[in-house]
Structure 1
Amino acid sequence: MPSATESTQRSPIGFNVLAWSASISEKMHPITERLKTIGYDGIECFIDNQDVSVYRQFGDHLNQLGLRSTTVMVIGPDENPVSESPQVREKAVTYLKGAIDRAHAMGATVIAGPMHSAFATFSRREPQADEYARSAEVLHAAGEYARQANIVLTPEALNRFECYLCNTMEQLAHLIRLTDHPNVRAMFDTHHANMEEKRFPEAIRTIAPVLAHVHISANDRGTPGADHIPWDETFRTLAEVNYTGWMTIEAFTRNDVDFANSIGVWREYNDPWHIAENGLTFIKTMQEKYAKKELV
């Protein structure tokens, strides 16, 4: 019998430093250095309104460590992409372009988050067809700008208490189809899916054709694997659809009090390093368990 070896392609693993702070600075350097030491491929950070130079300097630091990066963002009511006002929607495009500039300066390749509509801003009615159309128009314009920076925008479906336009993968897939731009794909977050999806496998298969980013998040935003998310179904289905993009842990604490208050985090779930160390081990174990092995 001829000899053969098994080869696998592993999704890169990232950690969102929002567990420590929503703002990047030199104070984050020891944290990113330790994340590199324990085995992460990259980090994810929040994009705020700091000067582009701050992101460039932080990106230089990550590059020296050999860490890659992705980013997350939210958008507020003054720049709401679904607004009836053309002026507000233009502000949305401008705001997204600013986020792209900051991510590009840092060397990031992905911007994730609920950029399809304003965070925690509700119309008190179900999402309307014209709202999807307006959001798609804004995202398409932002996608054109992102193409120049080689960045992929990955809008995120949130739970019903934080968003109304996109709660499910079915709704998000509809929006991405309307947007019709190669630099606007989709993301899947296990925390939100835990509240909104009937079954994880069906949800993942629904979004698979446009899936470009995944948040590995516990149901309580603590340590993945020490919770009740259907992890075996999740990792098995991601392997079945040949997903090879980032698997990034997004967990929250009260370390950054202002940020925690803004998203309703009122208690500690796990220590950040418990999340980072045990979460990394958990993801690697699950990736190995469901790795697609091919004889070459």
Structure 2
Amino acid sequence: MTLPTESRVSQFSPIGFNVLAWTAAMSDKLNPIAERLKTIGYDGVECFIDNSDVAAYQQFGAHLQQLGLQSTCVMVVGPDTNPVSDSAKIREQAVDFLKGAIDRAHAMNATVICGPMHSAFATFSRREPQPDEYAHSADVLHAAGEYAKQANIVLAPEALNRFECYLCNTMEQLANLVRMADHPNVRAMFDTHHANMEEKQFPKAIQTIAPVLAHVHISENDRGTPGDGHIPWDDTFQTLAEINYTGWMTIEAFTRNDIDFANSINVWREYNDPWDIAENGLTFIKTMQAKFVS
């Protein structure tokens, strides 16, 4: 289906690939991966923020600049840095942790940090999210956003499925949290994998988050190659075109290459070879962009 002329946009979103398909670690082993992604045709890479020294991010960022690649980052927070904690000390630690992530991303020249930074990953209270938890999270995100502003970095919190998070599962919940955070450097991310489990209709979900949308993860229902599964891709790309979205479209796919990381997110089997995902995924996104973006 082709969009009416007035609802089409003239700019393609840049396309990135998340190197978590190979590793969660920051090291010079990422250099040849980035080089091949550049050769394939990607505009940028996304990497996980771990506790590596800031210098490691600076070195990788310099390599990306030499290649002509841009960068974004993804992160999670744990129980000891949980923004929704009842403990003021843990919330302070959450702010410090987010500042450390911003320092690393800035050293790499990244422009976006995405991920479920609003609450601790896979940490549950065994009750529905409470008003004070949203308030705590918003306060932490606002403080982190103020720090991110100095680095010209946008924080893009992510809604996760109910098996990994309880605070934000839907775009409605995430949009409300971002409004509460009330900072221009705190926006939002849409991830097709999680939306496939939690949203009733992709167009409505995307329209809900559109005013604060800053980043999109293109991720298949099984975390394999985009286009091979049952995500409603026409709805996704058409609606992104309708809202004039021009931010990153980054493929996030998982494998068991990094066993510790795979075990931590319950990835127990291989979906596709990472280079097959990278090559076929890029072709798929470009095909969809050409279909819906003038």
User: What displacement does 1:8 show?
Assistant: 2.0
Aligned pair partner of 1:247 in 238, 246, 249:
249
- The Cα shift of 1:89 comes to 0.2
Counterpart in the other structure of 1:98: 100
Residue 52 of structure 1 aligns with an amino acid whose one-letter code is V
| Structure-1 residue corresponding to 2:136 | 134
Aligned to 1:113: 115
What residue in structure 1 maps to residue 4 of structure 2?
none
Per-residue CA deviations over 1:65-124 (Å, capped at 9, x if unaligned) read 000000000000001000011000000000000000000000000000000000000000
Deviant stretches of 4+, over 3 Å: none
Structure 2 unaligned segments of length 5 or more: list them: 1-7
CA distance, structure 2, for counterparts of residue 258 and residue 288 of structure 1? 38
SS of the residue aligned with 1:141? helix
SS at match of 1:289: helix
- Normalising by structure 2, report the TM-score: 0.97
Q: Secondary structure at the match of 2:29?
A: helix
Tell whether 2:59 aligns with 1:57: yes
Tell me the SS of whatever aligns to 2:46: strand
1:7 CA drift (Å):
8.2
Q: CA deviation at 1:35?
A: 0.3
1: CA distance between counterparts of 2:91 and 2:245? 33
SS in 1 for 2:208: helix
**TM-score for both structures, normalised by structure 1:** 0.96
Helix, strand or coil: the match of 1:280? helix
Aligned amino acid, residue 136 of structure 2: R
| Equivalent runs, 1:262-273 vs 2, <5 Å | 262-273=264-275
From 254, 257, 260, the counterpart of 1:258: 260
Q: Secondary structure at the match of 1:153?
A: strand
Structure-2 residue corresponding to 1:72: 74
> What is the distance in 1 between the residues matched to 2:258 and 2:38?
22
Tell me the amino acid that sits aligned with residue 82 of structure 1: V
Which residue does 2:85 correspond to in 1?
83
| Map of 1:196 onto structure 2 | 198
| Structure 1: unaligned runs, 5 residues or longer | 1-5
- In the TM superposition, 1:84-233 aligns within 5 A as 84-233=86-235
Amino acid corresponding to residue 116 of structure 1 in structure 2: H
How many angstroms apart in 2 are the aligned matches of 1:75 and 1:182?
Answer: 21
Query: Which amino acid counterpart does residue 273 of structure 1 have in structure 2?
Result: W
**Superposed displacement of residue 275, structure 1:** 0.3
In 1, Cα distance between equivalents of 2:33 and 2:105: 19
Letter matched to residue 79 of structure 1? T
Query: Would you say the 8 A contact 2:15–2:250 is kept in 1?
Result: yes
Find the aligned partners of 1:271 and 1:36 in 2 and give their Cα distance.
Answer: 18
* Aligned partner of residue 26 in structure 1, secondary structure: coil
Q: What is the CA-CA distance between 1:30 and the residue it aligns to?
A: 1.1
